[in-house]
Homo-oligomer: A and B are copies of this chain.
Amino acid sequence: MITLTNTYSIQQVAELTGLTVHTLRYYERIDLIPHIERDDNGYRHYSDGDIGRIRFLCCLIRTKMPLDQVRRYAELYAYGAESDEERFEILNAHRAEILRQIDALTDTLARVDYKLAKLHPQHEPESVRETV
């Protein structure tokens, strides 16, 4: 029999996403990840779709969206097109937050570079060395 959809154990998903198995279960427990299919033993079988969704949620989390909001966003998947408006609002608000963070980082980068130059004036900028 040819399986058209791959499935993955929790361990494999941990490797694929960079999360720990503990964190994956925790995220599911707090309804941040929708219910994952189980086999006869109760073992989780993640689909490719699950992994895609988890990866996107990880992007939101890594960029500091609070888990509450991620949960709300994840919950809306279940409501389909009806929930488009609210999902748009959530992502759009987070977009603004991302821009703020980039601003803060860019500003701090400049300040750090200034200090680095004062500490080791003879050095080339690190960005040059890094790209070599």
CA A95 – CA B101 in complex, angstroms?
15
Interfacial chain B residues near A94, Cβ < 8 Å: 112
Asked if A25 is at the interface (CB within 8 A of a chain B CB), the reply is no
Stoichiometry (number of copies)? 2
Asked if A14 is at the interface (CB within 8 A of a chain B CB), the reply is no
- 11 residue pairs of the A-B complex, CB under 8 angstroms, read A59-B104, A59-B107, A59-B111, A60-B108, A62-B104, A62-B108, A91-B116, A91-B119, A101-B101, A101-B105, A102-B109
CA A126 – CA B101 in complex, angstroms?
16
- Is chain A's interface secondary structure helix, strand, loop, or mixed overall? helix
Binary contact track A104-132/B, C-beta < 8 Å → 1, others 0: 11111101110110011000001000100
Interface size bucket, A side?
20 to 34
- Contact A98 B92, beta carbon cutoff 8 Å: no
Interfacial chain B residues near A101, Cβ < 8 Å: 101, 105
